Structure 1
Amino acid sequence: MIIDASGMILGRLASLAATKLLAGEEIAIVNAEKAIISGRRESVYREYEEMKGKGSTEKGPHYPKRPERIMKRTVRGMLPHKTKRGREAMSRLKIYVGVPSEFEGMKIERPEAAKMTRLGTAKYVELGDVSRKFGSKF
């Protein structure tokens, strides 16, 4: 299954992907940088900065900067990743920035359950903007 993350809420998309991964499906998520994090821009940036600031540089926890890795970490948080079942589910997940050439012309799904209902409001931030704020160059 190939899912387009454009205009999708990050948490909803991650939980949908986690349930399908646990069911045994292989999932590829494209356009990870266009996923949406709901909330005011300042509060979203502050929360991600707090996550990145935890721990130490030697021992972690290490929080990613790149949008595809942030999304993978979000999905991992919804899986039992320390068990064999969870590790196997994570191995079936692929996440990409943009749309790779291997997926051109294939059917890409946009699940209704993860779509943002009101894009007219200014209370959301794209995942790519968060990544750029913290120094990612993708």
Structure 2
Amino acid sequence: MADKEIKKKSKVEKKDENNEGKKMNKVDKKMKKIIIDAEGAVFGRVCSFVAKKALEGNEMVIVNSEKVVITGNKKDIVGKYDTLRKKGGHSQKGPKYSNVAYMMLKKGIRGMLPDHRKGIGKQALNRVRCHNGVPKEFEEEKVLKISAPKKIKSMTLKELSGKI
């Protein structure tokens, strides 16, 4: 009788040890820091990729965010952002649209998250950092490049922020 109880306990202990190991692997797997070089990458593709990875639990750092490309006719792009900025009415009331490149990118990412004001979306947005250029702390680290389009009509966020 005592031998059976010992065997049962040992099986339970093994299961607990295995589960703890799995939990640790999931935590280690999810808490990755991914650095993306967004130079020449398409705006929507960068935003959707970053939003997806942030929801999975990864900490996302985007460098060269001013070199992200928005595809389309330049007049249409500038016109769209210009009307969005003027739509708010009084300058001290909302909605506020930034003309700084990294904030424009972060707002695009925010639009692809479930609800940026509470819950999972808020946590995911807190894991995203955007930078114009490459900060010194990320110069030596390994960066992930997102594929850039071939020749198409486009303009960078830096050009757009200068024209608004």
TM-score (norm 1): 0.89
3-state SS of paired residue (1:3): strand
CA-atom RMSD, angstroms? Answer: 1.0
1:15-94 equivalent positions in 2, closer than 5 A? 15-56=48-89, 57-79=91-113, 80-94=115-129
User: Which of 142, 148, 154 is matched with 1:116 structurally?
Assistant: 148
3-state SS of paired residue (2:133): coil
Please list the CA deviations of residues 38-80 of structure 1 after superposition, one character each: whole Å capped at 9, or x if unmatched: 0011111101101111122232100011000000111011112
In 1, Cα distance between the equivalents of 2:88 and 2:40?
32
Greater shift after overlay, 46-55 or 32-41? 46-55
Tell me which amino acid in the other structure corresponds to 1:92: R
Give the conservation status (yes or no) of the 8 Å contact 1:28–1:95.
yes
Post-superposition offset of 1:105: 1.3
Post-superposition offset of 1:94: 0.5
3-state SS of paired residue (1:37): strand
Percent identity (aligned):
36
Q: Which runs of 5+ in 1 are unaligned?
A: none
Structure with bigger RCO (C-alpha 8 Å, 6+ apart): 1
In 2, Cα distance between the equivalents of 1:50 and 1:15?
24
Post-superposition offset of 1:130: 0.3
3-state SS of paired residue (2:144): coil
Match of 2:19 in 1: none
Number of aligned residue pairs: 129
Indicate the structure with greater helix content: 2
TM-score (norm 2): 0.76
Please list the CA deviations of residues 10-57 of structure 1 after superposition, one character each: whole Å capped at 9, or x if unmatched: 111001000001000000000011000000111111011011111222
In 1, Cα distance between the equivalents of 2:62 and 2:44?
14
3-state SS of paired residue (2:62): strand
Larger Rg: 2
Q: Which runs of 5+ in 2 are unaligned?
A: 1-33
In 2, Cα distance between the equivalents of 1:17 and 1:54?
28
3-state SS of paired residue (1:14): helix
User: Which of 111, 132, 135 is matched with 2:162 structurally?
Assistant: 132
Match of 2:138 in 1: 103
Give the conservation status (yes or no) of the 8 Å contact 1:54–1:60.
no
